[in-house]
């Protein structure tokens, strides 16, 4: 069976036109948590099209805001006294 897709958590953007699978008159472009396009389809065929993607790709990492990303070279500059400090 295909993975259950949580449509409410997906980034789905409505696209004009019928879905190629014939399952619905509404189709959507689906984007991952970084805004990268993944697939085009409707609620009938999208679970099958999206089953190859990991959950953190589809919905974003579970603890996205916990670890702020800092450039590592800033830390080195401070450690070696090469910064503007």
Looking at the Cβ atoms of 10 and 42, the one nearer to Zn ion is 42
Q: What three-state secondary structure class fits 14?
A: strand
Least distance to Zn ion from the beta carbon of 50, Å? Answer: 12
Least distance to Zn ion from the beta carbon of 43, Å? Answer: 8
By the 10 Å C-beta count (0-12 exposed, 13-18 middle, 19+ buried), 74 is classed as exposed
Looking at the Cβ atoms of 39 and 60, the one nearer to Zn ion is 39
Least distance to Zn ion from the beta carbon of 20, Å? Answer: 7
**Residue ranges binding Zn ion (CB under 5 A):** 19, 21, 23, 41-42, 44-45
Q: What does the CA dihedral 66, 70, 76, 81 come to, rounded to 10 degrees?
A: -100
């Amino acid at each position: 069976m295909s993975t259950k897709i949580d449509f409410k958590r997906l980034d789905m953007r409505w696209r004009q036109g019928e879905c190629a699978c014939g399952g619905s008159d509404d189709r959507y472009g689906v984007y991952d948590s970084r805004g990268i396009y993944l697939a085009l389809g409707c609620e009938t065929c999208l679970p099958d099209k999206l089953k190859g993607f990991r959950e953190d790709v589809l919905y974003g990492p579970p603890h996205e805001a916990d670890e702020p990303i800092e450039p590592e070279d800033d830390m080195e500059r401070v450690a070696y006294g090469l910064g503007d400090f």
